[in-house]
């Protein structure tokens, strides 16, 4: 089987990044679906501000916010494994920098 190599140049012009703070993964047979979206921090902040006596998250009322879905990706299990490994690698780098700070 031939090997396909994809070269990504992070210095090349890219579209502007979109904010995302909602990620949902679902296994669909032999693939993984990743839904990416955004929940407004302003709405979350308003809920917290409306309950100033709450000492922690447990004391806040249950509120259901719907994310605005911006992207849906379908990837193979191998693609998901590569994504998982890369995210773990980045997270480990972040943790080691925080420990060194």
Q: pLDDT tens digit string along 51-73?
A: 888 777 778 778 888 899 999 99
In whole angstroms, what is the distance from residue 15 CA to residue 85 CA? 25
Please state the domain count of the chain: 1
pLDDT at 3: 84
Q: Is residue 99 within 8 Å of residue 60, measured between CB atoms?
A: no
pLDDT at 62: 82
Domain region containing 40: 22-100
pLDDT at 96: 93
- Residues of the chain where predicted confidence (pLDDT) is lower than 50: none
CB hemisphere CA count around 72 (13 angstroms): 7
Is the residue at 91 inside a domain?
A: yes
Is the residue at 34 inside a domain?
A: yes
Is the residue at 55 inside a domain?
A: yes
Which residues, 6+ apart, have CB-to-CB distance to 16 below 8 Å? none
């Amino acid at each position: 089987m031939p090997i396909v190599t994809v070269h990504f140049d992070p210095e090349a012009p890219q579209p502007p990044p979109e904010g995302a703070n909602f990620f949902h993964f679902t296994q669909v047979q032999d693939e993984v679906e990743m839904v990416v979206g955004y929940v407004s921090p302003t709405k979350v902040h308003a809920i917290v501000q409306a309950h100033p006596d709450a000492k922690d998250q447990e004391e806040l009322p249950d509120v259901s916010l719907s994310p605005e879905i911006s992207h849906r990706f379908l990837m193979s299990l191998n693609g998901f494994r590569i994504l998982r490994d890369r995210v773990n690698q980045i997270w480990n780098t972040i943790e080691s920098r925080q420990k060194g700070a």
